[in-house]
């Protein structure tokens, strides 16, 4: 029997290892097909918004993955929500935004005060507005009252790109102290996943990272198809 093929579509090379490690942990039987267009995150940062041309590029990537035999698609880039939705509609395949599963898990956390207080920590500043909007829209759909606080961690991503993982993890863990009291903390970028254990040591509440949540959710979605 042929293994299930899952397309992993990336806008930065930094997201590739964290998701491959998450698949190794949770779903080693799946066969990954990796597509990388690292100009997408640069173009998105320069444009300051998601353009129709960028949306079309996402559709093109998803259709290529479908023609290559993929049965499901996971996008690992967090500043492109509407483009990913358009790609999912174009292929009809189970398609997951990078943070969808983590958002669902965060919304299920207990809220002792009656309002769920969550922190969002990001190393790519452009992803904060789109992720916050996406998260608050999902919370409204689920009728969960939330307050979302976000923190941007400068220099962490360039540390990681320069191979200084320890410094990357330390910067993120130290940034947690900028958050007010929260019921849970979400790490925005896939590339932040390896910092989760250190962050958890610094936090009294659950710290969620996207790759683990995403792999488990996609596995479930594809088994129901």
Beta bridge partner(s), residue 47: none
Q: Which two tokens stand for residue 191?
A: 């590339």
What is the C-alpha to C-alpha distance for residues 25 and 6, in angstroms, rounded to an integer? 15
Contacts of 78 (CB under 8 A, 6+ apart): 97, 98, 99, 124, 127, 130, 131, 188, 189, 190, 210
If pLDDT is split at 50, 70 and 90, which confidence band does 225 have?
low
Tell me, yes or no, whether 104 and 182 share the same domain.
yes
Number of domains the chain is built from: 2
42-95 residue pLDDT tens? 999 899 889 999 999 999 999 999 999 999 999 998 778 899 999 999 999 999
Q: Distances in Å between the alpha carbon of 191 and those of 42, 115, 156?
A: 16, 29, 10
Helix, strand, coil tally for the chain in percent (to 5)? 55, 15, 30
User: CA 67, 70, 75: angle at the middle one, nearest 5?
Assistant: 110
The dihedral built from the CA positions of residue 207, 211, 214 and 219, taken in this order, carries a sign that is negative
**Mean pLDDT for the stretch of residues 140-156:** 97
Tell me, yes or no, whether 186 and 217 share the same domain.
no
Tell me, yes or no, whether 132 and 159 share the same domain.
yes
209-219 residue pLDDT tens? 999 899 999 99
Tell me, yes or no, whether 37 and 80 share the same domain.
yes
Asked if pLDDT for residue 1 goes beyond 80, the answer is: no
Answer yes or no: are the C-beta atoms of 74 and 96 closer than 8 Å.
Answer: yes
Boundaries of domain holding 114: 100-209
What is the C-alpha to C-alpha distance for residues 9 and 34, in angstroms, rounded to an integer? 6
Residue 224 has a pLDDT of: 66
Instruction: For residue 70, give the CATH number of its domain.
Output: 3.40.50.1860
Residue 52 has a pLDDT of: 96
**What is the rounded average pLDDT for all residues in the chain?**
94
Answer yes or no: are the C-beta atoms of 11 and 190 closer than 8 Å.
Answer: no
Q: Distances in Å between the alpha carbon of 143 and those of 57, 116, 140?
A: 34, 11, 5
Tell me, yes or no, whether 107 and 187 share the same domain.
yes
Q: Which two tokens stand for residue 87?
A: 């790609």
Tell me, yes or no, whether 126 and 62 share the same domain.
no
């Amino acid at each position: 029997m042929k293994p299930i093929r899952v397309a992993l579509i990336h806008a930065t090379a930094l997201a590739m290892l964290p998701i491959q490690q998450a698949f190794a942990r949770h779903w080693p039987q799946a066969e990954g097909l990796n597509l990388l267009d690292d100009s997408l995150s640069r173009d998105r940062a320069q444009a300051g918004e998601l353009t129709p041309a960028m949306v079309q590029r996402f559709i093109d990537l998803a259709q290529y993955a479908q023609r290559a035999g993929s049965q499901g698609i996971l996008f690992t880039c967090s500043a492109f929500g509407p483009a990913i939705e358009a790609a999912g509609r174009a292929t009809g395949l189970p398609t997951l935004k990078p943070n969808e599963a983590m958002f669902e898990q965060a919304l299920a956390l207990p809220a002792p005060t009656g309002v769920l207080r969550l922190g969002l920590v990001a190393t790519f500043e452009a992803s904060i507005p789109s992720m916050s909007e996406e998260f608050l829209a999902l919370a409204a759909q689920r009728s969960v009252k939330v307050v979302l606080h976000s923190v941007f961690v400068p220099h962490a991503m360039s540390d990681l790109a320069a191979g200084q993982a320890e410094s990357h993890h330390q910067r993120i863990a130290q940034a947690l102290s900028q958050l007010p009291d929260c019921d849970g903390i979400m790490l925005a970028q896939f590339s932040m996943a390896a910092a989760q254990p250190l962050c958890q040591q610094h936090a009294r509440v659950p710290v969620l990272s996207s790759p683990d949540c995403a792999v488990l959710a996609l596995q479930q979605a594809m088994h129901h198809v």
